Amino acid sequence: MRRLLACSLLLLCAGAAQATISLPVPWKQGMVLQYRSRSASDKTKGKLHTRIQTQDTNEVSILEAGPEGFVQQWKSLKPEVAVTGDGAQVDNERKVAQALVARFKTLPMQAKLDARGAYRGLKNWQELGAAMREVMLPALVAQNAARKDLVGAKKEELSGMLGPALDRLTTENAINASLGRQVAIFNYFTAANIARGKKITYTDNLPSPWSSDVIPSKGSFELLAEDAKAGTVTIHWEQGIDAEKGREAVWKMASAIGINRANGTNPDGLPKGMVLKDEATVVLERASGLPVKLEHRREVALGTASSINTWNFERIAK
């Protein structure tokens, strides 16, 4: 995901005469803010549906600030989770969700930001990955022990079988793409330099939600509104698969999980029903550059599985 600053600089270097809005880097040593967050994840797999809803109060603070950048900490203060749906998988997903919420309440995320506030990954990704494995491995062992084809298998055997898969899901890149995704989007708009009255487009790469691959993508951002009375600006961003540049990589990835052209194609030449799209709208303070409100939506679909995830984040006034 590219920064607004970088994309806007490309525009300016190309000689564009549009007036721009430049926001300052908002972070300072010792800064502590609180945000109210809500999320919903609606997942469909075949005929089974699951909905996971969360709400929390998040404390966002700056632990370190210097010429090289910042360490931004995300702490969960009042997490709540609810899981509903149909099928036998719901009880298991509820237990896993509750266990993850309890575990990460005591383990804040620490994000590395550069001097311009751009997200550069999670500093404590190893601790976060270890906590993820700690919660997920027992749950996956119990889930697989209930399978008819694995009746009688010992827990040690199942742990040995499932451990390598969990290791791949908790590498640095995987943790940054999963646990760090919302942190990245939150910081994507800091120190923005954006032109009035012009939608800016760019190309990039997206981590695949189906594999360890990256997929060529394209996106855009634009200034939606300026509110002089409130002292805020509103920016809209969206990003999805670049069908032209990413077609070959997408089909290679899809074939590895059993999906081929015989299953059908979209008008853009990608696998039938394939969707990978992010959209976000953020309101920022003009003077400080701080995010006031953020709404994000991600839609993912391939084969018989799909999901729609929404995340709302709003600053709590002092």
Q: What is the pLDDT of residue 62?
A: 98
Give residue 112's identity as a one-letter amino acid code: K
Q: What is the pLDDT of residues 115-139, one digit of tens each?
A: 999 999 999 999 999 999 999 998 8
Assess contact for 84 and 51: CB atoms under 8 A.
Answer: yes
The pTM (predicted TM-score) of the whole model is 0.86
- 307 alpha-carbon distance from chain centroid: 13
- Residue 13 has a pLDDT of 46
The CA radius of gyration of the chain, in Å to the nearest whole number, is: 21
* 3-state SS, one letter per residue, for 55-67: EEEEEEEEEEEEC
Residues 135 and 107: beta-carbon distance below 8 Å: no
Low-confidence ranges of the chain (pLDDT < 50): 5, 9-17
Closest to 92 measured CA to CA, from 59, 52, 133, 148: 52
Q: Report pLDDT for 318.
A: 74
Question: What gap in Å lies between CA 277 and CA 299, rounded to an integer?
Answer: 5
Domain ranges of the chain: 1-26+190-318, 27-41+48-188
Amino acid at the residue 260: N
CA count, 13 A, side-chain hemisphere, 306: 13
